Chains A and B, each alone.
Chain A
């Protein structure tokens, strides 16, 4: 289980995130929503170790992990699928997947997972030796998701997986996220598409200007007048 207690993070100027507390229980799908600049990506970067917290605690299964290196965090079973896909453009699709499994040493298991990703995403199998930069946006998002899963995480964090995709692909990406959770992996998802994010979430948090303003089940936030007015178009 992941817990943030009073987390504050900044980039040198004013705090991008202030006194945030939240939790993600095992097996849950939790959504983090909010407008541009609310601090959603900052939250994920603090958890994955890209940013050091200025105050507060991050604990994972009881262990304090705030301030650990990204390597130490992924080694503990937390994967971060970053905003904007960020595949390695000049590495092949296969190498991108292998990068996801960089810290694993079970070569047989890696090969099996690679085959499983190819079964799940047939378009990746057809393009295994192609440079990832030549894939379409949708294919790159599938690759980024598959790469995150290659570390066999217990918690996977998605940062705006639907960003910039055509509506039919958005549906597909959300279906994949639900499927990942159904198979037992805990999910923390950041989304601007608040409607979809709240509908599929067990619980959700709403951030505004670096601060937590609402928390509850997905259904509660969907029903909340403030959320409806500001994020769901009335």
Chain B
């Protein structure tokens, strides 16, 4: 029982960052109908920028975190303007090919810049765990959870309660009519891609001190992000949040009780199970944004 509680806590920590990752990918798919293969690379980008700022730049972790997120936003905006904007009228296959090319380029640039050896961002916190009854949590993990939940809440509030968020949701649903209302749809596309990339970079930056950062980590993370989005029902933001936590729990419980080595496998088994039993995903279609 105590062990289960412990896994529950660890799964929640992981789930929060997975939810950020899934929401970023869902946004880009929902608004722009772009299958974003670079998403995992933005996660790696965030992790590397954090590492570089702390280890090479001597920057404090708590400052490096927002800086890495902003760097992700800026790179996302650049990529959208340079690659996606000229292809707005292209068919989906061409756009996918371009995105795969961008992913390979980003991954190889990371390899070139940082070398093939995995890096570990120094833990800014004390290494001894906080103990709450039967459960113990490393301060770093608690921090990761608090920040991801705050980011999820902030994102949700901005989307649901601000005019810009309303314009963005309207653009998900009907870009042409949104344009008639005065929405600058091109600008919304850039902002969406930048925001989605920023969320991926933020989760990479958050988890930098938890997992090792390596140039190929984007592959696995990208796959997981797609898994989360599919779990949530392709194009649903509440679904992506739920999918993120579901994946976090499955990995944590299966990793703990069944096999640590195959922990990543269980997440994908879950997706196969969901696709067979509930092909529409966890959240019903009427709540989809697209």
Which A residues have a C-beta under 8 Å from some C-beta of B?
Answer: 48-50, 69-71, 74-75, 80, 82, 86, 88-91, 95, 98-100, 102-103, 133, 147, 151
Contact = CB atoms under 8 A, between A and B. Distances in A.
A102 to B, nearest CB: 5
Contacts of B289: 90
A99 B163 CA distance: 9
A88 B174 contact: yes
Question: Which are the 5 A-B pairs with shortest beta-carbon distances?
Answer: A103-B182, A86-B177, A71-B182, A70-B179, A99-B181
Contacts of A89: 173
Given A90-B289, A91-B166, A102-B163, A74 B177 contact: no
Describe B's contact surface by its main secondary structure: helix
A2 to B, nearest CB: 17
B170 A88 contact: yes
Given A70-B179, A74-B182, A98-B163, 6 more contacts: A50-B180, A71-B184, A91-B169, A99-B166, A103-B181, A147-B181
B176 A50 contact: yes
Nearest to A92: B166
A70 B186 CA distance: 12
B106 interface: no
Contacts of B286: 133
Nearest to B184: A71
B178 interface: yes
Contact of B166 (A48, A70, A80, A95): A95
B174 A102 contact: no
Interface in B177-194: 177-184
Interface in B134-189: 163, 166-167, 169-170, 173-174, 176-184
A88 B182 contact: no
Contacts of A80: 180
A220 to B, nearest CB: 32
